[in-house]
């Protein structure tokens, strides 16, 4: 590769000399040059030659020979320097090829070493910053004071000159209720004039910087006065603000503000620095949310936030990843009617068997959510101990009866499927029996309701439950659901009902005979929404589809 005129004269944020330790790479280049076959040089970002004999590693000015090959040393998209190899034109072709390969290996090795050092430095800085921010989080206190300390810390660790933290306004319970960038309000600032802070004209055109930051991106500008995205380049020059680094303060996937940092000279920002500002912003967002939470005194406000947290925890109780089997395809969806619901489903492997569980706890809210979690954990624990589904359900019933009141009970349909033989054993406890979709001898789809019944869980101790069996066949679909599906109502208070559910799945399978399990789930919810429209639903909706691959 022929060197270009500007290969080494671009301004850089970092230099190869920043990573110089014992000069091992330079020594290797010098030793290879002593062979008198080729000249291999290590050069910094300015093109200066770094010699192993130069303890101050200031670099030696030396022009690049004509026809030399320049191999860049990179970290991410930033060039730190290069390995330059030059050989005489009459050198043996194999020797030339060998030395070029050696030079490439040196460049790759140097890049990897610098990347490792850069990553280590970033991690050290990150740990130090996050430790200090975690102390702020633990102490709580006023939001404005915490953000002022956060801003000072960010400027110090990133070696920047000025900055500001802007927050979105809060609603009545302390939650940022508006994600519009023009609603941002100053909360903390350092080394910025009042004229700059009070200027209603945004920094970027169409508030692009703030929009990208609130979306969770890291926004950089090496030179604001020359950046075509900047709306006020003259104001940047007057304020002596040149480089820009900013990102959003995001908590629980919800933006609450932005952090904007500035340098008074042109500056490039490394990947590590971009990662660090994002970590600082996220930690600051958590600290702000913690401080706001501590301010909430009213019981209604505390309960509202608790419900949101509990709802997120409850969703994590659902299968994060469905089990994978050669002959079985799985899909499930749970849609609560409130922040916390009483429906649940589970798909799990136990002793070479596939467990499928669908349940419904009476009631809604925190109590139902806690009972749901307890029942799911209890049944899973007993399933690990026994292949006898009747015994598993008996023990689960006794445990729920022992730990609940007379008004709390649960319906469950629980099955174990052998992935090889496709034999399914199942037990019913007061729950709707699933639909089995299978083609008849004429190739027409038919819907069958699996037989079986049993008393709801948690009413009578010692209740017996019968285990049933069904042989699944290639091409079958099993659709298990809760009554929130069939009881969904429209504005006329008509219910969706089981016949419409059957009609929905049969029509879809006639249209798409080899539909995936996820497609069938999507079709049922689509049909239900077509029926109910925008009517609010009083019950949770849960659907699980098991497809036996043909």
- Residue 27: its pLDDT value, please? 79
Give CA torsion, residues 508, 510, 512, 515, to 10 deg: 70
- Same domain flag for 239 and 362: no
Alpha-helical (H) ranges within 252-364 are 271-295, 299-317
C-alpha 498/C-alpha 480 separation (Å) is: 12
Tokens at residue 54, please? 């130069």
For residue 505, give Cα distances in angstroms to 498, 512, 521, 528.
11, 10, 9, 11
- Same domain flag for 158 and 215: yes
In angstroms and rounded to an integer, the radius of gyration of the C-alpha atoms of the chain is: 33
- Same domain flag for 166 and 312: no
Give me the chain's average pLDDT, please. Answer: 83
Asked whether residue 53 carries a pLDDT value surpassing 80, the answer given is no
C-alpha 278/C-alpha 291 separation (Å) is: 20
**Where residue 441 falls among pLDDT bands split at 50, 70, 90?**
confident
More confident residue, 117 or 381: 381
**Where residue 5 falls among pLDDT bands split at 50, 70, 90?**
very low
Asked whether residue 293 carries a pLDDT value surpassing 90, the answer given is no
**Where residue 9 falls among pLDDT bands split at 50, 70, 90?**
very low
Asked whether residue 265 carries a pLDDT value surpassing 80, the answer given is yes
Asked whether residue 299 carries a pLDDT value surpassing 70, the answer given is no
Half-sphere exposure of 98 (CA within 13 A, CB side): 8
- Same domain flag for 353 and 495: yes
- What is the tally of structural domains in the chain? 3
**Where residue 301 falls among pLDDT bands split at 50, 70, 90?**
low
- Same domain flag for 96 and 148: no
Tokens at residue 208, please? 């692009």
C-alpha 456/C-alpha 473 separation (Å) is: 29
The residue behind tokens 């991690």 is 123
Asked whether residue 142 carries a pLDDT value surpassing 90, the answer given is no
Asked whether residue 20 carries a pLDDT value surpassing 70, the answer given is no
Residue count of the chain, please give it.
550
Q: What is the DSSP string of 340-355?
A: S-SEEEEEEEETTEEE
Residue 1 covered by a domain: no
- Residue 300: its pLDDT value, please? 56
C-alpha 451/C-alpha 433 separation (Å) is: 7
Residue 128 covered by a domain: no
Q: 204 with 277: CB under 8 angstroms?
A: no
Q: 42 with 35: CB under 8 angstroms?
A: no
- Same domain flag for 258 and 314: no
Residue 234 covered by a domain: yes
Asked whether residue 343 carries a pLDDT value surpassing 90, the answer given is no
- Residue 438: its pLDDT value, please? 94
Q: Which of 237, 268, 295 is the last residue of a domain?
A: 295
Q: Which of 420, 428, 421, 408 is nearest to 357 (CA)?
A: 428
Residue 414 covered by a domain: yes
**Where residue 83 falls among pLDDT bands split at 50, 70, 90?**
confident
Helix, coil or strand: residue 299: helix
C-alpha 237/C-alpha 58 separation (Å) is: 33
Q: Which of 120, 153, 186 is the last residue of a domain?
A: 120
Residue 3 covered by a domain: no
Burial of residue 317 (CB within 10 Å: 0-12, 13-18, 19+) is middle
Element housing 497 (H / E): helix 497-511
The residue behind tokens 């010098």 is 30
Asked whether residue 2 carries a pLDDT value surpassing 50, the answer given is no
- Same domain flag for 327 and 441: yes
The CATH number of the domain holding residue 184 is 3.30.450.40
Burial of residue 148 (CB within 10 Å: 0-12, 13-18, 19+) is middle
Q: Which of 250, 274, 295 is the last residue of a domain?
A: 295
Element housing 74 (H / E): strand 69-75
- Same domain flag for 109 and 216: no
Asked whether residue 110 carries a pLDDT value surpassing 50, the answer given is yes
The CATH number of the domain holding residue 446 is 3.60.40.10
pTM over 0.75: no
Helix, coil or strand: residue 397: helix
- Same domain flag for 194 and 254: yes
- Same domain flag for 100 and 175: no
- Same domain flag for 247 and 359: no
Residue 271 covered by a domain: yes
- Residue 1: its pLDDT value, please? 35
Asked whether residue 16 carries a pLDDT value surpassing 50, the answer given is yes
Mean pLDDT along residues 493-497:
91
Give CA torsion, residues 134, 137, 142, 144, to 10 deg: 50
- Residue 3: its pLDDT value, please? 34
Residue 537 covered by a domain: yes
If you ran DSSP here, which 8-state letter would residue 203 be given? Answer: S
Residue 129 covered by a domain: no
pLDDT above 90 covers a percentage of the chain that reads: 36
- Same domain flag for 281 and 339: no
Asked whether residue 308 carries a pLDDT value surpassing 70, the answer given is no
Residue range of the domain that includes 317: 308-548
N-to-C CA span, the chain: 56
């Amino acid at each position: 590769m022929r060197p270009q005129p500007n290969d080494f004269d671009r301004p850089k944020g970092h230099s190869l000399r920043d990573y110089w330790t014992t000069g091992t790479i330079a020594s290797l280049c010098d030793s290879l040059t002593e062979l008198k076959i080729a000249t291999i040089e290590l050069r910094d970002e300015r093109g200066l030659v770094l010699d192993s004999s130069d303890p101050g590693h200031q670099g030696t000015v030396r022009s690049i020979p004509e026809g030399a090959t320049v191999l860049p040393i990179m970290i991410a998209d930033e060039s730190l320097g290069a390995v330059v190899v030059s050989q005489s034109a009459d050198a043996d072709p194999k020797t030339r090829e060998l030395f070029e390969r050696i030079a490439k290996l040196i460049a790759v090795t140097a890049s990897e070493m610098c990347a490792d050092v850069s990553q280590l430095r970033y991690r050290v800085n990150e740990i130090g910053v996050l430790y200090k921010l975690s102390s702020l989080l633990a102490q709580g206190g006023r939001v404005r004071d915490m953000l002022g300390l956060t801003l000072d810390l960010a400027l110090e660790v990133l070696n920047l000159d000025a900055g500001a933290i802007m927050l979105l306004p809060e609603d009545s319970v302390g939650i940022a209720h508006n994600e519009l960038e023009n609603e941002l309000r100053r909360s903390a600032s350092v080394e910025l004039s009042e004229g700059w802070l009070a200027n209603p004209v945004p920094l970027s055109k169409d508030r692009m910087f703030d929009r990208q930051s609130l979306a969770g991106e890291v926004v950089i500008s090496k030179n604001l006065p020359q950046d075509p995205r900047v709306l006020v380049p003259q104001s940047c020059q007057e304020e002596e603000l040149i480089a820009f680094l900013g990102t959003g303060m995001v908590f629980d996937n919800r933006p609450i503000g932005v952090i904007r940092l500035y340098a008074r000279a042109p500056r490039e920002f490394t990947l590590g620095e971009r990662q660090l500002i994002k970590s600082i912003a996220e930690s600051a967002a958590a600290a702000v949310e913690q401080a706001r939470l501590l301010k909430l005194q009213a019981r209604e406000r505390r309960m509202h936030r608790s419900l949101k947290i509990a709802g997120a925890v409850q969703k994590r109780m659902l299968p994060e990843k469905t089990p994978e089997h050669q002959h079985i395809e799985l899909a499930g969806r749970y849609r609560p009617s409130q922040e916390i619901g009483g429906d649940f489903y589970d798909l799990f492997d136990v002793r070479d068997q596939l467990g499928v569980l669908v349940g419904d706890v009476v009631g809604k809210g925190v109590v139902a959510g806690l009972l749901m979690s307890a029942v799911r954990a209890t049944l899973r624990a007993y399933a690990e101990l026994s292949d006898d589904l009747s015994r598993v359900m008996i023990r689960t019933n006794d445990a729920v009866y022992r730990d609940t009141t007379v008004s709390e009970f649960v319906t469950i349909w629980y099955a174990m499927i052998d992935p090889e033989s496709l034999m399914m054993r199942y037990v019913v406890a007061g729950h709707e029996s699933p639909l089995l979709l299978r083609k008849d001898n004429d190739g027409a789809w038919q819907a069958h309701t699996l037989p079986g019944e049993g008393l709801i869980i948690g009413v009578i101790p010692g209740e017996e439950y019968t285990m049933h069996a069904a042989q699944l066949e290639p091409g079958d679909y099993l659709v298990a659901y809760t009554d929130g599906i069939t009881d969904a109502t429209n504005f006329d208070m008509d219910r969706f009902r089981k016949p419409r559910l059957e009609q929905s799945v049969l029509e879809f399978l006639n249209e798409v005979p080899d539909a995936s399990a996820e497609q069938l789930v999507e079709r049922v919810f689509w049909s239900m929404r077509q029926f109910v429209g925008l009517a609010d639903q009083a019950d949770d909706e849960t659907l699980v589809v098991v497809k036996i691959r043909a």
